[in-house]
Structure 1
Amino acid sequence: MAVEGKRILRALRGEALATPPVWLMRQAGRYLPEYRAIRAKAGGFLDLCYTPDLAVEVSLQPIRRYGFDAAILFADILLVPQALGLELRFAEGEGPRLSTVTSAADLARLRPVEAIHETLAPVYETVARLRAELPAETALIGFAGAPWTVATYMIAGRGTPDQAPARALMYGDPATFAALIDRVTEATIAYLARQIAAGAEVVKLFDSWAGALPGPRFEEFCVAPARRIVAALGALAPEVPVIG
């Protein structure tokens, strides 16, 4: 089936379909026994993300079982901070734990954006292999975390209920905070551009913690970076929709 015939791409172009396309936000995961079996063999969660054989398999499992209109790359939004040089681990039952960026000195130790691709190369391989292995009618969605949400984890070192550490840096050291958002925005553009080059037909941005910012800050640190990402990707690949 030609790309033009894939239902989710038709819907994202504004076409009214008799039945809406179906996909889930977190498509691969614990609700699938076959996922749990792969996860048990993989070792750590990051091993699953960075091993293309395993990441391809768990991305395909929901398609085989349910025939969704789109497959979603199996990865994690915190791979970008890790590629920028932060230490990352997933504590069983506790979630992610990262080294932190809370000062200009910490920011200066981050890797340049052009260095992230060495770490993220297995993700791009997964995208390319998924695109080749998916049924002809199934589109492929890539994704990344939006800069504000990613920055909250980089600043706090974990998920927090109110994003207070990130807001404290935003108000207490606005120059460092703005520079961090800028670095993550640049990295996100580079990361999603490589996913598109590898075969992603749609990309999406997760800004899970956008609600923690008041109006003017929301415009500055959620809307503006998203606009920048969409504009940059649109210049590179105007045919690829971006879901927010």
Structure 2
Amino acid sequence: MASMPTNKRLLGVLKGERHDPPPAWMMRQAGRYLPEYRELRAEKGGFLDLVYDPEAAAEITLQPLRRFPFEGAILFSDILIIPYALGQDLTFVAGEGPRLKPTLDENALESLTRHPERLEPIYETVRLVKAQLEPHITLLGFAGSPWTVATYMVAGQGSKDQMATRVMAYTERTRFAALIEAIAEMTVDYLSGQVEAGADAVQLFDSWSGSLAPEEFRAWVIEPTKRIVTAFKARHPDVPVIGFPKGAGEKLPEYARATGVDAVGVDETIDPVWAHENLPEGLPVQGNLDPLLLIGGGERLEQAVDRVKSAFAGRPHIFNLGHGIDKSTPIANVETMIARVRG
């Protein structure tokens, strides 16, 4: 993507610039490993209460930037806002995670009543964050990719192997395709709304893409992502899109070529040297430190940071984790990581 120079280094990388040291942010950087987050959550209530309180959500988005010299702010929200807007009831059970009702393994999508107004508080959060960000910080919006969102809508909750959704995709293909399309259409509107509120770039999280066989991966990950990127770019041609198909493995280069994303996230299971050699030349990458290395810290952490930086030194690179930071991560180890990234 051709671009004019920008004072936002992270945004510049997404548009094809190389920077040394690379800019950095962390997936789930706004959240429960921070004591100030835990304090605010205890005051405000449950997770969804925070997401739907724009002032609280903006505060949580900004908290890690007060501690660490990150160059990206990731919106504090959740990928299940889309099912909620499509008409499912959304709750978060303490210690167990999200629940959606009615489940679509036993109910029709057509039985749901859409509530696009449920997206509005998220846009207000983006506006509040944008007004407080320092000029060099890139504001990242996000959404879940259709496959991953569908796994929750079908089963009503997360699962280890996404069995119910995979079976539906095999046995009720027309019905499942309609669900994927509905998610994709609302996702384009949702991402567009975030950009109109102030987001500089967006990321599509496909956390469960690794459970799919190659042909299913093409059908339910690559093709819907391509449709989203195409429709989104028609509205916002200069706004970068990061695609993060966790678990894609050897399918990642095909994903990068076929979807039209501007950058790809690389998870911790992929050798960064292999990724550099096999991804399209010059394509910006993001990743891919194992988040569990941040728990142990020490020399292993520093060596791993160096390996990631070295592997991606020949292309535009945003330093990040291979997935979200764990809640038990010591803050001192995050400080060590950032110091090592900066050399």
1:98/1:64 CA distance change after superposition, 3 Å: same
Which runs of structure 2 are paired with 1:205-224 in the superposition (5 Å)? 205-224=204-223
Counterparts of 2:142 and 2:70, CA distance in 1: 17
- State the secondary structure of the residue aligned to 1:5: coil
**Equivalent-residue separation in structure 2 for 1:164 and 1:42 (angstroms):** 35
Runs of 4+ in 1 over 4 A off after TM superposition: none
Structure 2 counterpart SS, 1:123? helix
Per-residue displacement from partner, 1:167-218 (whole Å, max 9, x unpaired)?
1111221111110000000011110010011111010000011011111111
Give runs of aligned pairs for residues 11-26 of structure 1, distance below 5 A.
11-26=13-28
**Structure 1 residues 3 and 17: CA distance shift in structure 2, 3 A:** closer
Matches within 5 A, 1:34-73: 34-73=36-75
Q: Which of residues 30, 33, 38 in structure 1 aligns to 2:35?
A: 33
Q: 1:165 and 1:71 mapped to 2: Cα distance? A: 35
Greater Rg by CA: 2
- Aligned counterpart, 1:201: 200
1:174 aligns to what? 173
Which amino acid in 1 is paired with 2:169? M
The code of the aligned residue for 1:203 comes to V
Q: Could you list the per-position Cα deviations for residues 33-74 of structure 1 after superposition, in whole angstroms to 9, with x for gaps in the alignment? A: 101101111111101001011000000000111121010100
How far off its partner does 1:135 sit?
0.8
Give the TM-score, by structure 2 length: 0.68
Opposite residue 23 of structure 1, the aligned amino acid is W
Q: Deviations over 1:133-167 (max 9, x none)?
A: 10111110000000000000000111001000001
**Distance across 1 between alignment mates of 2:217 and 2:104:** 21
Task: Give structure 2 stretches of 5+ with no counterpart.
Answer: 244-343
Give the Cα separation in 1 of the matches to 2:215 and 2:224: 13
Percent of residue pairs identical? 52
The residue type equivalent to 2:104 in the other structure is V
Q: What amino acid is the match of 2:76?
A: F
Amino acid at match of 1:223: I
Amino acid across the alignment from 1:164:
M
Q: Which amino acid is 2:67 matched to?
A: R
Q: Match for 1:10 among 9, 12, 16?
A: 12
Question: CA RMSD for the aligned pairs?
Answer: 1.3
Q: CA–CA distance in 2 between the matches of 1:42 and 1:138?
A: 27
* Aligned counterparts of 1:142 and 1:10: Cα–Cα separation in 2: 16
Structure-2 separation of matches of 1:108 and 1:178: 13
Distance in 2 (CA, whole Å) between partners of 1:19 and 1:132 is 27
1:102 deviates by 2.1
Distance in 2 (CA, whole Å) between partners of 1:77 and 1:3 is: 32
1:71-86 maps to which residues of 2 (within 5 A)? 71-86=73-88
Secondary structure at the counterpart of residue 111 of structure 1? coil
Secondary structure of the residue aligned to 1:34 is helix
Q: Which residue of 1 aligns with 2:96?
A: 94
2:113 to 105, 111, 114: 111
Inter-partner Cα distance in structure 1 for 2:127 and 2:5:
16
Query: For the residues of structure 1 that align with 2:238 and 2:95, how far apart are their CA atoms?
Result: 40
Deviation of the 1:111 alpha carbon:
3.2
TM-score (norm 1): 0.95
Query: Partners of 2:230 and 2:236 in 1: how far apart?
Result: 10
- What residue in structure 1 maps to residue 290 of structure 2? none
Contact persistence 2:5–2:12 (CA under 8 A): no
Q: CA deviation at 1:233?
A: 1.2
Q: Which residue of 2 aligns with 1:162?
A: 161
Tell me which residue corresponds to 1:129: 128
In 2, Cα distance between equivalents of 1:69 and 1:111: 39
Structure 1: tracts of 5 or more residues without a match = none
Aligned residue for 1:226? 225
Aligned residues of 2:75 and 2:141 also touching (Cα < 8 A): yes
| 1:223 counterpart SS class | helix
Matched AA of 1:185? A
Q: 1:67 and 1:55 mapped to 2: Cα distance?
A: 20
